[in-house]
Amino acid sequence: MNYLDGLNDAQREAVLATEGPVCVLAGAGAGKTKVLTTRIYHLIREGAAPHEILAVTFTNKAAREMRERVSKMLDLRDADGSGLRKSPRISSADGLGQTVFSPAPVDVPFIATFHGLGRELLESYGSLIGVPRYFSVYDRDDSEKLVAAALKELDVEAKELSSRAVLYRISKAKGEGLSASEFYERSARSSFGNRITAEAWRRYDAALAKEKALDFDDLIAKPVRLLEEHPEARRAAKARWRYLHIDEYQDTNELQERLASILAEDHGNIFVVGDGDQAIYGWRGAKMEHILEFEERYPAAKVVKLEVNYRSTKTLVEASNKIIEMNVRRKDRRSKTENEPGEPIILHAAGTAEAEARYIARQARALIRGGSAPEEVAVLYRTNAQSRALEEGFLREGVPYKLLGTRFFERREVKDALAWMRLALDPSREADKVRAAGSPPRGLGKVTLAKLAAGQRDTLRAADLAKVEQFERVIDELARAAETLPPSEFAKLVIEKSGMKRALFEEGDEAARERYENVVELAVVAARHDGVPGKAGIASFLAEAALASDQDELDQGKRAGVALMTVHAAKGLEFDAVFVAGMEEGLFPHAPMGTDRDRDDEEERRLFYVAVTRAKKRLALTFARVRMLYGESYLTEPSTFLRDIDPALVVYDESDGEAVIEA
């Protein structure tokens, strides 16, 4: 039982609670991932079949870390050590009276994001509700374009109602379990925005169906509908997993909770881990009530509190306690630590946002020169608009950085290559065909492609027909290769056969070289799925690409640098040194403008708590006395959150950041 020796009493109690509902309240830095992975290992040691174990989290990065830890404990690593060996897929009737695809009964736990679980259920049983075997997953950018097209059909201009605002309403409604028709019925006599959203939603869903695509929200909404409407699929899904684990339970929305409840309704073995104090996604439908009221939903539940913080210094733990205890809606839990007191928190007031950025960049440079790794330094901010001044400050001071927000999988050349890969799985997708035909350009315009889609091939000129046939030959060749090649080899073949490699080399400049490096990086990411060669593995990779989050950017690219990101994107991460910029009233806590949402002061304070608890050793809080907003300069007031911190834990730095910090 030596695998239990490294656990504290509360962690051990959680790991050994193997039957029935269990709720683990895990404070920041309390080792929740260690508890989850050790419990999975303990279940297997106690006789549970690995393939009966399901663990669900919210980001690809968290799922990969959990898989790698479990695979190391079980000694089930791939040859490259990248994680659990992939389960080969088999075709069988599986008791549903039709052919479905489901994992072969190999002994590995299923560890994935909620969206990965939804995809697995739809690939296995989705044909019951008309979901095609190899469906695409549209990212937010692709979805927004479809919504924009729907609004154009409705003669709605962007200044009246933006496609982003409409997509937000659709996404929130899907998260609440509403269908387009249900939303329409509710909104028929509602506001202008909701009436337009209802009309646009119908067109949006029709466009997705035409492209054999789903969006992020469909990956949860459709599996729930599938399991609620088809008892045979419900029985099969519940029989697959006997032990259910859910990470970051406070972030679940209505549909995710329904999905979890369905899977656990027979055996009741639902093990949830989370922290209501880190519930920061209420604006997108997450319900912290799920963790606050877990004992009411499951009266027999066992509750375990993980209160020892192994991450941060005593100063930072004490400051975070003071901050979060100002909230009323929370479980009674107080973090403690045996770590050293460490350094005091630095507070710096800059004259302007530009001066604030220079200060942070200079302090970061001093840390790096003192021996800190650039990747162990992070700058967090409340809104993306703050990144401009910070980027300029880092560029001016010559400090390497990585800006999270321009995602690897959203770069134009990467999306071009992904379109080619999707076409190889299903050549009928018109949107992918249009994109691939232009990357690289081959003389096929939208008119020509529209004629093909309309079945008017015989109206094409001979020259255009020759180009079409050449294009189709490439697609056919890639489709044949997709049957057997591992995803990484297929990605390399796509880059070669599509002509992208040749075209980028012919451009020859530095920008083209960087774009080429980006598409080559696809093969590196795709290699994670090489354990399942052929179309199933390629489809799995494409789904990962569509569902990538900001945090996945930390794993992409070769250049080391200080991480610049929003506080929301930093959740779940940790750094030796953290700067939180823009600690001003109206900015943090944020007063949203131009939205139909009121400020939730408790959620804003939870967000500040998340920011503070990302730091292991050093924390600096900065604000500008004057900030430019909406084209005008405004005098600011320091954030009310600063008053929540004991002044004895803070030192004021009035320098410009030039002084060298000792590492």
Q: Which amino acid is at 98?
A: Q
Nearest CA to 518 out of 627, 438, 407, 612 is that of 407
Q: Helix H segments across 46-113?
A: 60-74
Q: What is the pLDDT of residue 599?
A: 62
SS (H, E, C) 310-334: CCCCHHHHHHHHHHHCCCCCCCCCC
Q: What is the pLDDT of residue 596?
A: 42
Provide the phi-psi class of 7: left if phi over 0, else alpha when psi is between -120 and 50, else beta.
beta
Q: Low-confidence residues of the chain, pLDDT below 50?
A: 77-105, 556-558, 594-597, 659-663
Number of C-beta neighbours around residue 385 at 10 A = 13
End-to-end CA distance of the chain: 39
Number of C-beta neighbours around residue 268 at 10 A = 13
In angstroms, the CA 329 to CA 327 distance is 6
Which of helix, strand or coil describes residue 445? coil
In angstroms, the CA 569 to CA 553 distance is 10
Q: What is the pLDDT of residue 450?
A: 80
Give the pair of three-digit tokens for residue 517.
Answer: 């490096």
- What burial class does residue 171 get, using C-beta atoms within 10 Å of its C-beta: 0-12 exposed, 13-18 middle, 19+ buried? middle
349: enclosing H helix or E strand: strand 345-352
Q: Helix H segments across 211-297?
A: 218-229, 231-240, 254-264, 289-292, 294-297
Q: What is the pLDDT of residue 101?
A: 39
Q: What is the pLDDT of residue 515?
A: 78
Residue with tokens 């403690």: 336
Q: What is the pLDDT of residue 595?
A: 43
Residue with tokens 């021996």: 371
For residue 504, give Cα distances in angstroms to 440, 477, 631.
9, 21, 39
Residue 555 DSSP one-character state: G
Residue with tokens 């029709």: 206
Give the pair of three-digit tokens for residue 105.
Answer: 């009964």
Number of C-beta neighbours around residue 412 at 10 A = 10
List active site positions: 32-33, 247-248, 278, 614
Q: Is residue 464 within 8 Å of 430, Cβ to Cβ?
A: no
Number of C-beta neighbours around residue 533 at 10 A = 20
Nearest CA to 264 out of 240, 286, 296, 288 is that of 240
Q: Is residue 241 within 8 Å of 269, Cβ to Cβ?
A: no
pLDDT digits (tens, 9 = 90+) for 150-159: 999 999 887 7
In angstroms, the CA 591 to CA 594 distance is 10
Q: What is the pLDDT of residue 509?
A: 66
Nearest CA to 550 out of 536, 532, 563 is that of 563
